[in-house]
Amino acid sequence: MGYEGVSNFGNINLSQQSLLNISGAASGDVRIQGGRVTFRDSLITAATNSDNGGKIFIQSQQLNLNERSGIGAIALDGGKSNDVTLETGSLTVQDAFIGSFSSGQGQTGNLKVEATDITLIRTAANLVLPTGLFAVTGGIQQGGDLTIQTSQLTVKDGAQIAVSNAGDGQGGRAFINASDIQLIGESVSGEFTSGIFGSSFGSGRAGDLNIETERLTLQEGANIAAATRNGPGGTVIVRASDFVKVMGTAANGFPSDISGNTLGTGAAGDVQIIETDQLIVRDGGEITAEARGELGTGAAGNITIHARTIFLDNQGTITTNTRSGEFGNIKLTSQLLLLRHGSQITTDATQGTATGGNIDINSQVIIAVPLEDSNITANAVRGRGGNVDIDDAQGIFGIEFRESRTPLSDITVSSEFGVAGNVQIDAPDTDPSRRVVNLPTLTVEAEIVQACNPSDTQQSEFVITGRGGLPPSASEAIATDAIGIDWVTLNPQQSTSTEVRATSVAPEAQENAQSPDEQSIIEAQGWVVGSNGKVILTAQAPTVTPHIPWLPNDSCQGS
C-alpha cells in the first residue's frame, strides 16, 4: 500500500507499555508515517535468530521517544538484524533508545537518522542502556554503521551515540554530519557520560568516528572516544570549519575529551582534527591518544591537528602519553599556537623503559607566558626521551628548551635514568643583542682656522658663500650690504625710449653736459662705503663681487 496521494498525516501515539513486535523469520517490515509520532513507555522490536530481520522505517514531522521507550532491530545467533531508518523534522529521545543490536553469530544492521534537529537528553538512574542512538555488536560479526544527518545535534545529561563492540567482532562506523554539535555533561548518577563513542570492550577493533560540522563543542565532561581494551582502537576524524571547543570537567572530575585511548593491551586509536579554524582546549579539557591501563602494555596512538589557531588554556592538554607500551606522536600545524595557565603538550613515557614520543610543530608563532608553567614535553623514565621538532616558526615567545622541567614554561626531552631526546628548532635568530650595530667614531681634519672654540652643544661650520664673497680675514665682521647690481651707463646712441627715461631721471645733467669747459656733474653710477662708514657716490660703477647679506656675524656667541 502506498501513500502517494496522502498530503497530511495524522498523529500517532503509542503509550502504556504498547508493543509492536515483528520478530521471527520472514516477519516483514514496520513502516510508520505520521505528523507527530510519540512513543511513551512503548516498544517496537524486530528480532531474528536465523534469517534477516524486518526493516523499521519511520517518517514524520516530529518523532518523540520518552519514558523507557525503544525502537530496536535485534539479531541473535545466526541472524542478521535489518536496518532502522528514521526521517523526521525533529527527533527527541529522552530516557529511551533507538538502535540495531546483535549477539553471538548475529550480524548488526545499520541505523540511519535524518532530521532537522536531534536532541538526546537525560538518562534515568535505573536504565540498563543510556539514552541514545546505537549500533552495537556483541558477537564475532562486524557491527553495523550509524549515519546521522542534521542541522543541530544536542547530546546531554548522559545520552550517547555509539558504535560499540563487546565481543570479537569489529565495531561499526559512525558518520555524523551536522551544522552544530553540542555534547554536554553526564547523567545524574554519574554512570554515563554524554558523547559519541566507537568503543571496543573485547578483542575486536573499535569503530571509527567521522564527524563533519561547522561548530563542535564538548563541555562539562562530555567525550568523543574511540577507546579500546584489548583490540585495536578506532580512529576519530573531525572536520569543523568554524571551531572545535573542548572545555571543562564533569562533577566527578573527569575531563571533556576527544580521545583514542587504550585501557589494556590493545593499541590506542588515532585522533585527527584535520580541518578547523580554531581549536580551543581549556579548563581541564583534553585531546588524548594515551595508553592508560594500569597493567596494560598497549601502544599510545597519534594525534594530528590542522588549525589556523590552537589555543590551550587553564590546564588544557594534548597528550599521547604511554605507560610501558610503544610511544605515540603529536603533529600540530597552525599559524598560531598559544599556551596559557599550565597547559601541556606531552608524549611522555611514564613507566619502565618505554620511549617518549615525538612532537612535530609547524606553527608560525608559538606563545607561552614564562611563569605559567605551560610545557611541551617528550620525557621518559628509563627509556630514551622523545624528539621535539619545531619547523618554520617566525617567533617563539615565553617558552624555551631546558634540560629538565622547571616552574617556568619549558620544552624538555629528558630521561630520568636514560638518554635524553633531541630538540630541533627551525626559527629566525631573535637574540636582540645581535641587532646592535657599533658605529665608528670618525675624526675630521680641521682645514679652516677656528675663529672660536667649538661649543659643547654646537658643531663648527664651513660655508661656501657663492657670489657674496668672503671678508679678507676670518676674524673680520661680515658686512650686511645688499647685493650689488651694476647701474646702466647712458649711451647717446640709445633709442628714444631710453633717452626719455634718462631725461626724466636727470634733465639738468644733460644741460650741464653741453659745456665741456665746466666741471661736469653727472648722475652717480655707483657707490662705496668709506672707512668711516659713510656712503660715497661714484661717477663710475665700482667693479666688486657682492656677498650674501644674510650670512651671520662670525663673532663668538655663548650658547
Predicted pLDDT of residue 382 = 93
- Give domain status of residue 497, yes or no: no
- Give domain status of residue 466, yes or no: no
- The range of the structural domain enclosing residue 91 comes to 12-432
In the predicted model, is pLDDT for residue 453 greater than 70?
no
In the predicted model, is pLDDT for residue 430 greater than 50?
yes
Whole-angstrom distance, CA of residue 46 vs CA of residue 331:
46
In the predicted model, is pLDDT for residue 199 greater than 70?
yes
In the predicted model, is pLDDT for residue 59 greater than 80?
yes
Average pLDDT, the chain: 83
Whole-angstrom distance, CA of residue 83 vs CA of residue 93:
19
| Mean pLDDT on 76-88 | 85
- Give domain status of residue 195, yes or no: yes
Predicted pLDDT of residue 22 = 81
Whole-angstrom distance, CA of residue 292 vs CA of residue 304:
19
pLDDT, tens digit, 9 for 90 and up, residues 152-197: 999 999 999 999 888 888 889 999 999 999 999 999 888 999 999 9
- Give domain status of residue 223, yes or no: yes
Predicted pLDDT of residue 296 = 59
Predicted pLDDT of residue 558 = 47
Whole-angstrom distance, CA of residue 485 vs CA of residue 524:
14
- Give domain status of residue 260, yes or no: yes
103: confidence class by pLDDT, cuts 50, 70, 90: confident
Q: Please identify which residue in the block is written with the cell numbers 597528550.
A: 319
Higher-confidence residue of 508 and 424: namely 424
| Mean pLDDT on 260-282 | 94
Whole-angstrom distance, CA of residue 262 vs CA of residue 257:
14
- Give domain status of residue 557, yes or no: no
| Mean pLDDT on 379-405 | 95
Number of domains making up the chain:
1
Helix (H, G, I), strand (E, B) or coil at 358: coil
Predicted pLDDT of residue 433 = 45
495: confidence class by pLDDT, cuts 50, 70, 90: very low
CATH number at residue 267: 2.160.20
pLDDT, tens digit, 9 for 90 and up, residues 223-248: 999 988 888 989 999 999 999 999 99
pLDDT, tens digit, 9 for 90 and up, residues 289-306: 998 876 557 899 999 999
Q: Ramachandran region of residue 550, left (φ > 0), alpha (ψ -120 to 50) or beta?
A: alpha
Higher-confidence residue of 33 and 494: namely 33
Predicted pLDDT of residue 57 = 95
Contact 79, 52 (CB under 8 A): yes
Contact 290, 323 (CB under 8 A): no
pTM of the model: 0.76
- Give domain status of residue 389, yes or no: yes
Predicted pLDDT of residue 46 = 86
- Give domain status of residue 439, yes or no: no
- How far is Cα of residue 424 from the mean position of the Cα atoms in its chain? 22
